[in-house]
Chains A and B, each alone.
Chain A
């Protein structure tokens, strides 16, 4: 019985899947599909992440998040309802009425790693689990999606980073990032992981509202063709 208890900790580690970069063909006037210059190492279409369902009635949500073990041996209790989440005031009458996240997340596609919200928001929109409104005045307006992939080559041995405009322009307006955060010109932006972790550049959203930086492969998904050494010169 004790062994059962111990083994319930040994949760299968979350498998990281690269986000699908393919554009759905149902977008009007948008380009049909976007494949990369180099053939991608992991092909998103063949890997189907398991459909995780949260079951608050069981104890699995306490123990089964794939982030269960960190070096402090504390188990993170995540996706708690407002009355128990640590920042809402449980003595407040309004708190008891607020919706618990798990209720809303029940029917949404999840990411395998459960980082951040644990929801695959892009897939949720692509596969019509949700249809978030695009314009404040016009309820029927659809996002103007620009499909432009950019591969950035960082220094060192970390794989190249693929930035997909499609997934971002389906949520954001051009002016949200350009030019305030990123200058829309090749070579004009110095982006380091340090900046990202401190809430600059990509970190303006990622690590706060969009998925955090814990999964390197989510962005650094392109294999390096050549190793970029310190003095990279043609």
Chain B
């Protein structure tokens, strides 16, 4: 009796889930083009609005109008015509055809944009990429040199010289090209140099692993470290309030802890100024604990 009753509920549960599961397994990947065919009226009207916006204010069309290319101008005119006829069809109620024609107009605008890209934007992008790459190369070289000093006292210094020399030459050539606005070529040169440095770095590292440990050579160093650590927690408080969205009272409570910890930090600074770094460190540790409580109050539970 009991078993049948349970079995009945179980069957109800199963039956309610089975259709959902089968529905999931039958999601087919229909071709993407089919999406356009069955759009609703509001969708099509929005598409027409988009095309209208594009025709009115697109920078690509402005560039096309300003250029000397006849074909581009013809395309732009054609796009406008298509849009007009799409609007007509839409008003008359022929939704399917209206959408097709609107799509054609969009396609033409896309083509125009691709044929006459914004040179300024392209140059700006390339310039940014060049600067990023130069920065990366600089960092990679610095790391390589630093590790070379640490891991190899004397050996492989010839490799270091070679690589540094190669990189320097590439950087020079690249900056010349950059001055001439030939950023894409400059980027290629920097990429080569970058690859060289990274390969050398990989070879140098071999099977070594770098250990970033917490050994301090003096109390002062440890104090500085703790101060930086305190600051890293302090920075998180406003971020936590934005991300975790606690209510006003919770924020007030959290702010109290933050204020307390700031007072402790000031005390620690004074202690350090007077030369008592060990006490300053202890005070900072308390301050950090307070900050962690402030964060815990708004919902960020930490394990440290």
The tally of residues in B whose CB lies under 8 Å from a CB in A reads 69
Q: Are A153 and B212 neighbours in the complex by a CB distance under 8 Å? A: yes
Give the distance in Å from the alpha carbon of A99 to the alpha carbon of B143 in the complex: 44
Give the distance in Å from the alpha carbon of A96 to the alpha carbon of B31 in the complex: 11
Q: Are B210 and A150 neighbours in the complex by a CB distance under 8 Å? A: yes
B198 interface neighbour in A37, A102, A146, A193, Cβ under 8 Å: A146
Give the distance in Å from the alpha carbon of A146 to the alpha carbon of B40 in the complex: 51
**Does A73 touch B at the CB level, under 8 Å?**
no
**Does B158 touch A at the CB level, under 8 Å?**
no
Give the distance in Å from the alpha carbon of A150 to the alpha carbon of B203 in the complex: 16
Q: With a 10 A CB-CB cut-off, give which of B21, B24, B303 has the most chain A CB atoms.
A: B24
Q: A153-B212, A231-B222 are in contact. Are A33 and B143 (CB under 8 A)?
A: no
**Does A29 touch B at the CB level, under 8 Å?**
yes
Q: A97-B34, A103-B29, A197-B300 are in contact. Are A234 and B217 (CB under 8 A)?
A: yes
Give the distance in Å from the alpha carbon of A198 to the alpha carbon of B294 in the complex: 14
**Does B155 touch A at the CB level, under 8 Å?**
no
Chain B proximity of A46: nearest CB distance (Å): 19
Q: A144-B195, A146-B201, A232-B222 are in contact. Are A192 and B304 (CB under 8 A)?
A: yes
**Does B194 touch A at the CB level, under 8 Å?**
yes
Q: With a 10 A CB-CB cut-off, give which of B32, B38, B213 has the most chain A CB atoms.
A: B213
By secondary structure, the B interface counts as: helix
Chain A proximity of B114: nearest CB distance (Å): 15
Q: A59-B21, A195-B232 are in contact. Are A81 and B199 (CB under 8 A)?
A: no
**Does B122 touch A at the CB level, under 8 Å?**
no
Q: Are B10 and A231 neighbours in the complex by a CB distance under 8 Å? A: no
Q: Which residues of B contact A175 (CB under 8 A)?
A: 132-133, 135-136
Q: Which residues of A contact B24 (CB under 8 A)?
A: 56, 80-81, 84, 100, 102
Give the distance in Å from the alpha carbon of A172 to the alpha carbon of B143 in the complex: 18
Q: Are A31 and B194 neighbours in the complex by a CB distance under 8 Å? A: no
By secondary structure, the A interface counts as: loop
**Does B205 touch A at the CB level, under 8 Å?**
yes
Give the distance in Å from the alpha carbon of A57 to the alpha carbon of B19 in the complex: 10
Chain B proximity of A62: nearest CB distance (Å): 7
Q: Are A33 and B207 neighbours in the complex by a CB distance under 8 Å? A: yes
Q: Are B240 and A198 neighbours in the complex by a CB distance under 8 Å? A: yes
**Does A167 touch B at the CB level, under 8 Å?**
no
Interface flags, B1-32, vs A, CB<8A=1, else 0: 00100110010001001001110110101101
Give the distance in Å from the alpha carbon of A190 to the alpha carbon of B215 in the complex: 15
The tally of residues in A whose CB lies under 8 Å from a CB in B reads 67
Q: Are A150 and B209 neighbours in the complex by a CB distance under 8 Å? A: yes
Q: Which residues of A contact B7 (CB under 8 A)?
A: 1-2
Chain B proximity of A148: nearest CB distance (Å): 5
Q: A147-B202, A184-B143 are in contact. Are A34 and B302 (CB under 8 A)?
A: no
Q: Which residues of B contact A102 (CB under 8 A)?
A: 24
Give the distance in Å from the alpha carbon of A5 to the alpha carbon of B281 in the complex: 57
Chain B proximity of A13: nearest CB distance (Å): 20
Q: Are A234 and B21 neighbours in the complex by a CB distance under 8 Å? A: no
**Does B239 touch A at the CB level, under 8 Å?**
yes
**Does B273 touch A at the CB level, under 8 Å?**
no
**Does B285 touch A at the CB level, under 8 Å?**
yes
Q: Which residues of A contact B30 (CB under 8 A)?
A: 96-97
**Does A24 touch B at the CB level, under 8 Å?**
no
The stretch of A64-72, A114-122, A154-162 that contacts the partner chain: A154-162
A153 interface neighbour in B198, B201, B214, B292, Cβ under 8 Å: B214
Interface flags, B260-289, vs A, CB<8A=1, else 0: 000000000000000000100100010000
Interface flags, A47-71, vs B, CB<8A=1, else 0: 0000000001111001000000000
Chain A proximity of B29: nearest CB distance (Å): 6
Interface flags, B51-83, vs A, CB<8A=1, else 0: 000000000000000000000000000000000
Q: Which residues of B contact A146 (CB under 8 A)?
A: 140, 198, 201-202
With A35-B209, A173-B136 already in contact, 20 other A-B pairs whose C-beta atoms are closer than 8 Å:
A30-B202, A31-B203, A37-B209, A80-B24, A93-B35, A93-B39, A145-B202, A149-B210, A154-B304, A155-B214, A178-B135, A186-B212, A192-B302, A193-B302, A194-B233, A198-B240, A198-B243, A198-B300, A199-B243, A200-B239
19 contacts between A and B (CB under 8 A): A5-B10, A31-B205, A34-B205, A57-B21, A62-B21, A80-B24, A146-B140, A146-B201, A148-B205, A153-B213, A158-B304, A162-B209, A174-B136, A190-B228, A191-B232, A192-B229, A198-B239, A228-B214, A232-B222
Q: A-B pairs with the 10 shortest C-beta distances?
A: A190-B232, A31-B202, A174-B136, A175-B132, A29-B199, A149-B209, A234-B215, A232-B214, A153-B213, A2-B6
What residues of chain A have their CB less than 8 Å away from a CB belonging to chain B?
Answer: 1-2, 5, 29-31, 33-37, 56-59, 62, 80-81, 83-84, 93-94, 96-97, 99-100, 102-103, 144-156, 158, 162, 173-175, 178-179, 184, 186-187, 190-195, 197-200, 228, 230-234
